[in-house]
Amino acid sequence: MSETTAAPVAVPVLFVTEPIVLPGMVVPIALDDAAQAAIEAAQASAPDGSAQLLVAPRLDDRYPTHGVLASILQVGRMPGSAGQAAVVRGERRAHIGAGTTGPGAALWVEVTEAPEGAAGADGADGAATDTVKTLTAEYKQLLLAMLQRREAWQIIDYVNGISDPSTLADTAGYASYLSNVQKRQLLETVDVAERLRLLIDWTGEHLAEVEVTDKIAEDVRTGMDKQHKEFLLRQQLAAIRKELGEGNAEGSDDYRSRVEAAELPEHVREAALREVDKLERTSDQSPEGGWIRTWLDTVLDLPWAVHTEDSTDLPGARAILDADHHGLTDVKERIVEYLAVRARRAQRGMAVVGGRGSGAVLVLAGPPGVGKTSLGESVARALGRKFVRVALGGVRDEAEIRGHRRTYVGALPGRIVRAIGEAGSMNPVVLLDEIDKVGSDYRGDPSAALLEVLDPAQNHTFRDHYLDLDLDLSDVVFLATANVVENIPGPLLDRMELVTIDGYTEDDKVAIARDYLLPRQQDRAALSADEVTVTDAALRKIAADYTREPGVRQFERLLAKALRKAATRLVAGDGPDTGAIVIDEPELVDYLGRPRFIPESGERTAVPGVATGLAVTGLGGDVLYIEAGAGGSEPGLQLTGQLGEVMKESAQIALSYVRSHAAELGVDPAALDRHIHVHVPAGAVPKDGPSAGVTMVTALVSMATGRKVRGDVGMTGEVTLNGRVLPIGGVKQKLLAAQRAGLTTVFIPQRNEADLDDVDAEVLAAVAVHPMTDVADIVAAALEPAPAESIAAA
């Protein structure tokens, strides 16, 4: 671009944000105080009516480099507006220079005109070059194409009459599809060729968008017209059929043929044909027709005649169960027993499909992470059956089990029927997950609806509200899972076989991690056994000091974390020279941080008045510390730690027993005539149950005598007012918790001795279990010997 030679002139400046004025445009501008001052200054500087001012855009607070020298055509009020406005006409581009002074309150600047011929000219006469001519023709073609789509014929005639390229380009100031920023860029682009290139790009993109939008609108319009036409033709066809006496509703013949061709039980076929008869008599406009079609589709989709054949290979079934899960002997034996009975019934020609009680209903109860849910798939594979899972956690609507009546809007069959349909056979393995978390409200009690489903003597005639047909569930194997057996209603629990999974020992966890978890996590981390190895010592360290859980869910998360760090080292090239990473016990701190759990029973019982008890929670067995203290002179008992009513009563019974047997226990009665405070730490966790009774007695005697409780001792059992130790539940889980906590001696009620048969030999070898009948014997064995000076004083 050549330099301009015109001399600078001083003019008032009018900043506008809307509209952006280009040369040749005539636009009205609303006047605020600053704009009014600029208009008045321009008029005062040229009384003869030739007033000029600079109209410049002000966007995003950026000071403009160019503006338009404009003449004032008219000043007055705009129609429909109370404010002042001025009509200006853009004349020439001008480059804005330095500020100057002038009359009035307006801002004055020095501007230099930018002659249009200075850019893109060929010769002194300013004739357009061939490039500019080509660009002008291309832009005019695009502009006319867009105007023709809008049918703006008058504007087309005006554009056809423009021969000057700069004038044609500046007409884009009226374009609504250009943003103010784009128009400012046109104003600041003095070169005509460059201006035309910008407009060609912008106009071409907008024209393409308009064409796509118009095409979509045309397609939508065509589709609506087609649907309207089909609707009219269908109405005419229905009228013709009515006149001819052919009253069958649309599609009823198809449903009749489908029902007759389907393999349905006789009572189902009769019900389906009755519904087809109703459909034939139903008008197309009646909503009942849609309900009937949906019901027929649901009935025809169910696999009424499909039954998978059970496997008779008992060793093969047991091998599948053993390959998928470590331990869980009770469940595996029960499934093999079921297969054995089915095989003998088949050999003797006895009915194995349908009838009363030919299925099985088991509830797997245990803490999280022990493999209850995944066991369902293994059972299905061992049986050779289809598998489907039904999540019951949080279900509160009885219709979720039995379905809705067909008269309800959006009615559906219940989850049991839908599960049968998803499985594709009438004898699948159905896993009812989290059955202990079923709730109830005003919509009914789902657990009550499950009574018929899970009763082997009744479920051969299960009736879903939606189907309203008898459905034979007697050949279905139902597996339910639960964390807390006590949360399952008694009548429902009575209909199922209870199989308790109490958790894994440390050796079990190491074996599971080595054989199952580690290979799975290595595969997920894209690692091989040759690249990363985790030693058995490291696995045992993780089980002992990094996790305190009955299952292996957290164990697997920690393994995944260690393998991710190992993979990161290999990718970053930080691995050993051999290329293989070995994670041993010393390296666990680098991969998993410091151990989260360390034995603390000795530390907690280092002062008198603290005893270690054993409890069972929804997460399995756990240790429970009972603290007893005395202070003040006002006798009384204070209990803290979010204790339930049963546990509060246990504390009162324990205090009453200690007071009434003070001499026998070596307690000074005066030591109990004070304010007694019993606290169970972890105060944010609710606690309840009677099994802490013996622990509370021991803690009170320890507090009153000043003798500490042995740090390696744990105990559990309900206590009576005369000191009898009554049986409790969850012995295996409590002993597993004692082993994890590092306890070596545990006192349990004598009547729970039979429960030791279910405890692993590894646990019994690590923990010495002493069945007891009198709490006084527990106190005598649990307390450390009295100090020598006390014995001498006595």
Residue 289 lies in a domain: yes
Task: Assess if residue 721 is contained within a domain.
Answer: yes
Annotated binding-site members for ATP: 366-373
Both 652 and 784 in one domain: the answer is yes
Q: Are residues 557 and 480 in the same domain?
A: no
Find, among 235, 252, 251, the residue nearest to 243 by Cα. 235
- CATH number of the domain encompassing residue 80: 2.30.130.40
Judgement on whether residues 613 and 678 belong to the same structural domain of the protein:
yes
What's the CATH number where 628 sits?
3.30.230.10
Per residue in 666-703, pLDDT (tens digit) is: 888 888 888 899 999 887 788 888 889 999 999 999 99
CATH code, domain carrying 515: 1.10.8.60
The string of DSSP letters for 25-57 reads: -EEEEE--HHHHHHHHHHHHH-TTS--EEEEEE
pLDDT at 122: 42
Residue 274's contacts (CB-CB under 8 Å, 6 or more residues apart) are: none
Q: Are the C-beta atoms of 12 and 106 separated by less than 8 Å?
A: yes
Last residue of a domain, one of 500, 523, 555: 500
> Do 387 and 534 sit in the same domain of this protein?
no
What is the maximum alpha-carbon separation in the chain?
Answer: 131
pLDDT at residue number 249 = 46
Residue 192's H or E segment, with its range, is: helix 192-244
User: What is residue 771's predicted lDDT score, i.e. its pLDDT?
Assistant: 93
User: For the chain, what is the radius of gyration of the CA atoms?
Assistant: 45
Q: Which residues line the annotated binding site? A: 366-373
The answer to whether 741 touches 714, Cβ cutoff 8 Å, is: yes
Cα gap 794→774, rounded to integer Å: 25
Helices (H), 706-767: 731-740, 761-766
**Which strand (E) or helix (H) includes residue 9?**
strand 9-16
The reply to whether 173 falls in a domain is no
Looking at the structure, do residues 638 and 720 belong to the same domain, yes or no?
yes
Q: Specify whether 297 is located in the same domain as 320.
A: no
When divided into structural domains, the chain yields a total of 5
Q: Are residues 323 and 296 in the same domain?
A: no
Question: Residue 751's pLDDT is what?
Answer: 93
Do 282 and 322 belong together in one domain? no
For residue 610, what are the β-bridge partners?
627
Tell me: do 628 and 702 sit in the same domain. Answer: yes
Residue 770 lies in a domain: yes
The reply to whether the predicted model has a pTM over 0.75 is no
* Residue among 166, 447, 691, 702 flagged as catalytic: 691
Q: Are 697 and 658 in contact (CB under 8 A)?
A: yes
Q: H helices within 71-191, ranges in order? A: 130-150, 153-160, 165-170, 180-188
Q: Which helix (H) or strand (E) holds 195?
A: helix 192-244
Residue 456 within any structural domain of the chain: yes
Contact 684, 642 (CB under 8 A): yes
Q: Which of 118, 150, 178 is the last residue of a domain?
A: 118
The pLDDT of residue 612: 92
Q: Determine the Cα–Cα distance for residues 204 and 194; give it in Å rounded to an integer.
A: 15
- Residue 344 forms part of a structural domain: yes
Structural contact between residues 346 and 352, judged by C-beta atoms closer than 8 angstroms: yes
Read off the amino acid at residue 361.
V
* Rounded Cα gap, residues 279 and 270, in angstroms: 14
597-624 burial code (b ≥16 CB/10 A, e <16): eeeebeebbeebbbbbbbbbbebbbbbb
Mean pLDDT by 10 residues, the chain (794 residues): 64 87 88 84 77 84 84 80 82 85 81 65 51 87 84 81 85 85 86 88 88 87 83 78 59 75 88 86 74 87 87 85 82 83 76 56 85 85 89 82 81 88 89 85 78 82 86 87 86 86 82 89 88 89 84 90 89 72 88 81 83 83 88 82 90 92 87 88 83 92 91 92 91 87 91 88 89 92 72 40
| 37 and 86 in a common domain | yes
Question: Which of 332, 509, 732, 734 is labelled catalytic?
Answer: 734
Residue 236 within a domain: no
Q: Is 687 exposed, middle or buried (0-12, 13-18, 19+ CB in 10 A)?
A: middle
The confidence score (pLDDT) of residue 449 equals 81
Number of residues that make up the chain: 794
Quick one: which of 507, 481, 506, 485 has its CA closest to 494? 485
Q: Is 437 a catalytic residue?
A: no
Task: Give a yes or no: residue 703 inside a domain.
Answer: yes
Owning domain of residue 61: 1-118
Q: Is 140 a catalytic residue?
A: no
Residues 488 and 513 in one domain: no
Of the three residues 241, 274, 301, the one that is the final residue of a domain is 301
Q: Which CATH number characterizes residue 439's domain? A: 3.40.50.300
- Residues in a beta bridge with 409: none
Same domain (yes/no): 18, 113 = yes
pLDDT of residue 351: 55
